């Protein structure tokens, strides 16, 4: 192409990084280009929060107009800022590889409390202008106070440095791309499977005129087809809800291999009515992306809240109970088994200590073992959170409800190292069985389960959703109660599912992760 391509971009540090990144990529393709800075409505109005700005696309509209007018030839956008309905005459020619889509919670070191969720002190003042971020943060931490935060990335960080906030929430991709030194702050990168990012977060969109077919062809080497397919699912969900970038909606699509080696699309959604209401969390799987978004939205819109009985002590399900009740559910939580400590008969220092449950953490540490020098592994986030209550952090956290897969990943990490497994009496030892040998494994019994003396609320056993958290809870429930065909059954883990299947009980869903959020998603996604 003989003509020099004019790239349109906002003037912020991050926008210019993005534009220069594309500029360098074009030069590799022997395409000459230069950058033209265009101010948008979002750049000009700095005294209003995003939800008070009119319309959609307040970071993109002026750039798109310049593209339609022929002032520029190529627009580079943060894809999440683009409205889902493209202006007539324009198209997305290519999308970049996806930068880590996680949110980053930057905490002033004076506001750190590692015993709290996200290591943020009680009643902290947090800055963000995103309705999506506000609703999700309040769901996890209803004690925090929120205040609007505007400005480009360095400006926002400077406001934290000046102690105008205790913490701020920003996209990890921005600070990663700008290579900003954050050593003066405590940084918590939030798992995108837990704190759901905006549709297409971390992706660049290259927009051109539909008529520029030659430029379209030239840009195809920059297009990531896999990323395009995944974010198309996310953005279609947003589109079907008629939402702009300020709709409190998180949608995150990944494509992962299952146990059979098949590639599966996995989508997590968090949708709230507004910034101050609890989001509704969902999880869906499909083999194909075609029509997937439509099925997701239909399922979300058709779901009717009901009653839930979970076989856990209520104090262990604070987030689950709070979130479901805020979404209109009635929740009963009652363990059908009691837990008794078992004094350790032996203790040997090891390289690692792995916990398969919160009870294992509690009854191990209450015996005061010397674990100096050991690293810790946890089967899931809830178990890792329990570790924090004893002043420790997990160096390995399983991210799957498939215990065998978690065991294989942990075994590969440990290698020839030694591992102590505090566990329940008669544990199934699923994690240990994934180790190739026994010489580096040491089991120690720290608790046992017995049938609870107190029966659950009679209304609980008739709940619409029955959530079983262990095989022993299954046995205790079925001793005195029947399950009807209208009740939806959720099993935590393969062992619990097997215990139900053995009794010819249909399991309708299994959580994608061993934590409260996984259970919430399983309940809402049946």
| Residue from 73, 81, 402, 515 carrying the catalytic annotation | 81
Residue 64's region, left for phi above 0, alpha for psi from -120 to 50, else beta, is alpha
Contact yes or no for 341/446 (Cβ under 8 A): yes
Which token pair is 92? 């997305």
Cβ proximity of 243 and 198 under 8 Å? no
Measured CA to CA in angstroms, residue 344 lies from 367, 388, 421 at distances of: 8, 22, 12
Q: Are 361 and 390 contacting, i.e. CB atoms less than 8 angstroms apart?
A: yes
What is the helix (H) or strand (E) element at residue 378, kind and residue range?
Answer: strand 375-378
The one-character DSSP state at 287 is: S
Alpha-carbon separation of residue 177 from 51, 104, 481 (angstroms)? 26, 13, 57
| Contact between 169 and 130 (Cβ < 8 Å) | yes
Active site residue 81: yes
Q: How far apart are CA 456 and CA 334, in angstroms?
A: 6
Interatomic CA distance for residues 52 and 81, integer angstroms: 16
CA–CA separation, 195 and 329 (whole Å)? 21
Residues making up the chain, counted from first to last? 526
Tell me if 250 sits within 8 A of 270, measured CB to CB.
Answer: yes
Instruction: Write the CB contacts of 468 (distance below 8 Å, at least 6 apart in sequence).
Output: 311, 474, 477, 489, 490, 491, 492, 496, 499, 500
Catalytic residues: 81
């Amino acid at each position: 192409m003989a003509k020099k391509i004019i790239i349109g971009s906002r003037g912020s540090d991050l926008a210019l990084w993005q534009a220069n990144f594309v500029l360098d990529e074009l030069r590799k393709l022997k395409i000459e280009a230069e950058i033209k800075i265009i101010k948008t409505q979002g750049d000009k109005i700095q005294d209003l929060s995003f939800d008070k700005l009119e319309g959609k696309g307040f970071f993109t509209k002026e750039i798109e107009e310049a593209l339609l007018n022929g002032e520029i030839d190529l627009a580079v956008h943060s894809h999440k800022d683009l409205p889902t309905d493209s202006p007539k005459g324009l198209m997305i020619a290519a999308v970049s590889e996806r930068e880590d889509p996680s949110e980053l919670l930057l905490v002033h070191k004076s506001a750190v409390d590692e015993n709290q969720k996200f290591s943020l002190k009680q009643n902290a003042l947090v800055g963000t202008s995103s309705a999506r971020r506000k609703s999700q943060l309040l769901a996890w931490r209803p004690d925090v106070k929120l205040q609007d935060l505007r400005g480009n990335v360095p400006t926002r960080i400077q406001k934290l440095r000046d102690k105008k906030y205790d913490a701020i929430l920003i996209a990890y991709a921005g600070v990663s791309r700008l290579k900003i030194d954050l050593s003066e702050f405590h940084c918590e990168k939030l798992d995108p499977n837990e704190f759901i990012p905006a549709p297409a977060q971390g992706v660049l969109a290259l927009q051109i005129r539909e008529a520029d077919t030659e430029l379209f062809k030239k840009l195809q080497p920059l297009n990531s087809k896999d990323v395009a397919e995944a974010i198309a699912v996310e953005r279609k969900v947003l589109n079907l809800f008629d939402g702009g970038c300020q709709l409190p909606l998180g949608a995150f699509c990944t494509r992962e291999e299952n146990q059979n080696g098949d590639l599966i699309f996995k989508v997590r959604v968090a949708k709230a009515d507004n910034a101050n209401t609890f989001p509704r969390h969902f999880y869906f799987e499909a083999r194909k992306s075609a029509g997937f978004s439509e099925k997701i939205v239909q399922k979300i819109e058709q779901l009717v809240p009901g009653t839930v009985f979970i076989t856990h002590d209520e104090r262990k399900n604070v987030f689950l109970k709070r979130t479901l009740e805020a979404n209109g559910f009635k929740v009963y939580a009652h363990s059908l088994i009691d837990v008794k400590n078992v004094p350790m008969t032996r203790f040997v220092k090891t390289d690692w200590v792995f916990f398969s449950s919160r009870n294992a953490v509690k009854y191990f540490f209450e015996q005061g073992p010397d674990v100096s020098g050991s690293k810790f592994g946890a089967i899931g986030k809830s178990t890792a959170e329990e570790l924090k209550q004893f002043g420790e952090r997990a160096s390995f956290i399983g991210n799957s409800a498939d215990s065998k897969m978690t065991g294989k990943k942990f075994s590969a990490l440990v290698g020839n190292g030694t591992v102590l497994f505090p566990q329940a009496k008669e544990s199934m030892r699923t994690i240990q069985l994934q180790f190739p040998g026994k010489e580096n494994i040491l089991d120690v019994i720290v608790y046992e389960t017995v049938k609870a003396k107190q029966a659950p609320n009679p209304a609980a056993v008739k709940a619409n959703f029955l959530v079983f958290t262990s095989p022993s809870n299954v046995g205790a429930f079925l001793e005195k109660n029947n399950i009807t065909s209208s009740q939806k059954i959720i099993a935590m883990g393969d062992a619990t599912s097997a215990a139900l299947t053995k009794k010819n009980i249909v399991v309708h869903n299994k959580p994608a992760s061993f934590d409260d959020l996984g259970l919430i998603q399983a309940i809402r996604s049946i």
